[in-house]
Amino acid sequence: MRQTWRWFGPKDLVSIDDMLQAGVEGVVTALHHVTTGDVWTPDDIKQRQDEIGHMMDGAASNLAWEVVESLPVSEDIKKQKGAWREHIENYKVSLQNLKSAGIDVVCYNFMPVLDWTRTDLAWRTRTGATCMRFDYVDFAAFDIHLLERTDATNDYPSEIAGEAAKRFASLGEPVKEKLVENIVCGLPGAAEHFTLADVRMHLAEYDSISTEGLRAHLVTFLEEVIPVAEALDMRLCCHPDDPPFPLLGLPRVMSTEADYQTIVSAVDSPANGITLCSGSLGARPDNDLPGMMERLGDHVHFLHLRNVKRETSSIRGSFYEDEHLTGDTDMVALIDAILKEEAKRRDIGRADHQIPMRPDHGQDILDDLKRKAQPGYPAIGRLRGLAELRGVMAALSHPSIGTS
């Protein structure tokens, strides 16, 4: 695996110098300032590459921008409304510009309206570390009582709706405001930053788009961009829904193994791949991560390795972001499946036999608690995650143990 690290650009409180000391081999970033739908220009791409190429004192970092996360897909493309055709053409130009700059792997998602969703960005664990958490009751309280979405109550089991009413009644104003901020203001990497009113307006736009409708829009998008990516020898990889179940009455199309199978077979090309995010997919008990890696491995172009602890056994439920080796996903089995896929690729001579991975998220520990970098992206918590994952990789690859 290629050990990469997400960086949010010069404003990121975790610097290029920091990631070098974490032992990172390559950088994952995006042009977060460019409006979704616009072209990523060669100048903007080059500037970001220069920033990555240098440490704070100007010395060469010898790191390069290896994966784009994300080249966002506009709401217009997802809805097939407004400027969607122009945005698709712009997407193709951005791909060409990225390729000309030597970047081959591009992650995106197809979640309507909101990118990833959490209700608490700094939940205290038993060790005093903080992590992100999704509390289903808090989310229902937000949806039914703060957003006041029409008929929202019907989307929840009655006991959850009942608990949500009680929870809402017990929350003070500052806590309510914080909950709204956590859910709708956009977590790191999200392309849009919304107000409650914006969310209501965007939700209404999806009233007439079914799950199958959204899936068809994703396929149309892929039919357009994949031939371009394939001709350029690039790899696109769709990130799963996070969390991987429907929220706010919106359609969701990338939550399960079956969803992924449908999308990879709808447009058959080596350029049409997936981002296997063990933390997003792992929030659902029926997603078998090592099995998905075995069966879909061929199409995996990017890996997010992270672990969540599910707090219920239902498909839709609460979870928190656990340490990398201690959540509900069997990380050792997953890494074993990844190493086997890489070995298979090496045997058949695939140039992309080394799959880029990043230690996804991390708990805030030690000095992270003071630094307060982007939620989910602390320096030390991620470094710890990477170190643990690297340990498993080294052990499983060792000749005295490994079969991979």
Q: Taking CB under 6 A as the rule, which mask of x and - marks residues 70-109 in contact with ligand DNO?
A: x------------------------------------xxx
Residue placing its CB nearer to ligand DNO in the complex, 164 or 254: 254
Nearer to ligand DNO, 63 or 132 (CB): 132
* Catalytic residue (one of 138, 143, 360, 368): 360
* Residue from 12, 131, 277, 301 carrying the catalytic annotation: 277
Q: Does 282 bind ligand DNO (CB under 6 A)?
A: no
Shortest distance, position 379 Cβ to ligand DNO, whole Å:
16
Q: Is 193 a catalytic residue?
A: no
Comparison of 164 and 376: residue with beta carbon closer to ligand DNO: 376
In the set 78, 239, 299, 382, which binds ligand DNO (CB under 6 A)? 239
Nearest distance in Å: CB 115, ligand DNO: 5
- Of the residues 115, 138, 259, 336, which one makes contact with ligand DNO according to CB under 6 A: 115
Closest CB to ligand DNO among residues 161, 255: 255
Identify the residue among 26, 37, 112, 189 touching ligand DNO (CB under 6 A): 189
For residue 247, the minimal CB distance to ligand DNO (Å) is 14
The answer to whether residue 108 is catalytic is no
- Catalytic-residue membership of 237: no
CB of 152 to ligand DNO, least distance (A): 24
Please tell me the count of residues contacting ligand DNO according to CB under 6 A: 12
Does 353 qualify as catalytic in the annotation?
no
> Which x/- pattern over 252-281 shows residues binding ligand DNO (rule: CB under 6 A)?
-------------------------x----
Rounded Cα distance between 114 and 334, Å, is: 28
* Whole-Å CA distances, 90 to 38, 45, 87, 225: 6, 15, 5, 10
Selected binder of ligand DNO within 282, 362, 376, 378 (CB under 6 A): 376
283-312 binders of ligand DNO (CB under 6 A): 304
Residues annotated as catalytic (active site), given as ranges: 239, 277, 304, 360-361, 377
For binding to ligand DNO (CB under 6 A), which residues are involved?
69-70, 107-109, 115-116, 189, 239, 277, 304, 376
